[in-house]
Amino acid sequence: MYLLDTNTVIDFCNSKLPLNARNLLNGIEPIVSVITSIELFASNKTTQHEKFTLEEFIKIAIVYESLNTNIVARTIEIRQQYKTKLPDAIIAATALVYDLILITRNTKDFGSIEGLKVIDPWKI
């Protein structure tokens, strides 16, 4: 199972992912962190069409909305050890706690976190 980072969802919804990545995402149940859900709608530059597309995506996605004690503890560990930004640390902790592979093109910020499995959708 996979956890989709914000940039992956945006690229997917805008039909910008390479064919192999689109095929992978079309074949899975989409799962996102509450952070991704927030980030998707935080920009005031999103067009109405983009907003509608993202809303439709979130309707079919599983959104891990709660920051339970395990995610909080892992987030703290990640922040202390890797100096990761809080949103990215929460996303990484969510993937680790639920044993999910993170799909993101942001491998620079996530790639060094021990135990976190990361796939760059542009390199599938």
Helix (H) and strand (E) counts in the chain: 7, 5
In the chain, the number of structural domains is 1
Q: 41: domain range?
A: 2-123
- What is the per-residue pLDDT across 34-47, written as a single tens digit (0 to 9) for each? 999 999 999 999 99
- What is the per-residue pLDDT across 72-81, written as a single tens digit (0 to 9) for each? 999 999 999 9
The dihedral formed by the CA atoms of 48, 50, 56 and 60, expressed in degrees to the nearest 10: -150
Domain containing residue 112: CATH number: 3.40.50.1010
> pLDDT in tens for each of the 124 residues of the chain?
999 999 999 999 999 999 999 999 999 999 999 999 999 999 999 999 999 999 999 999 999 999 999 999 999 999 999 989 999 999 999 999 999 999 999 999 898 999 999 999 999 9
